Chain A
């Protein structure tokens, strides 16, 4: 089956610093990748949709200047949390859809747990 990886799996940073999270599709090309955030005991919340070679589409209420998304290749998307604060502490999960037409499935990464001190 298709595999999506994320790096790092865990990160702890000081308030005010920036953190970059990588999402890679290991065995398929993904024209579209998605970023989600999940707070404890809550469901996943879609943050943005990332299309290779174009600007990401952010969901309402998500600050695009704070959560920078780059999808530079068909196998890599990055999420940078800029000037992180304790309220940004969360579980960040990416997913990817294969480029093939008619593919309905999203494949999810294992998640990155961010703790901002």
Chain B
């Protein structure tokens, strides 16, 4: 499976936008980019996913570089409830399993 690289931790002030980067230089043409997050002592939660085009949903936006070797998860207004570990995962279109990396621990400062 192609690997992803994320910063170990990031901080954001409450109500400010947050840009969480992910590098995936070995991504293949059939890999989707998935983002999940895990709040403390809970199971992960789906955030967003995309292939080539930028994606928006009610939780976040996903900006994908033109060469697809990196992507950025954007939380438009961070709240305290967004404090979690965010995982960027590549998943082949023909596969249905997810392999989690170490993720980015986001701290939101009131």
Contacts and interface: CB of A to CB of B under 8 A. Distances in A.
Interface in B90-110: 91, 96-103
Interface in B9-43: 32, 34, 36, 38, 41-43
B43 A111 contact: yes
Interface stretch (B44-52, B61-69, B71-79): B44-52
B42 A105 contact: no
Interface string A25-57: 000000010101000000111100100000000
B97 A46 contact: yes
- Give the secondary structure class of A's interface: strand
Contacts of A93: 43-44
- Give the secondary structure class of B's interface: loop
Contacts of B36: 106, 108
Given A44-B44, A95-B43, A111-B42, A106 B101 contact: no
Contacts of A105: 46, 49
Nearest to A112: B43
Contact of B46 (A34, A45, A107): A107
Given A34-B97, A43-B87, A108 B44 contact: yes
Interface size class of B (residues with CB under 8 A): 20 to 34
Contacts of A32: 96
A6 to B, nearest CB: 8
B42 A104 contact: no
A100 to B, nearest CB: 12
Q: Kindly list the 4 A-B residue pairs having the minimum CB-CB distance in the complex, ordered from nearest.
A: A108-B43, A44-B100, A43-B100, A93-B43
B52 to A, nearest CB: 14
Interface in A63-100: 91, 93-95, 97
A92 B87 CA distance: 18
Contacts of A49: 96-97
A43 to B, nearest CB: 5
Nearest to A44: B100
Contacts of A97: 96
Given A43-B87, A111-B42, A111-B43, A106 B102 contact: no
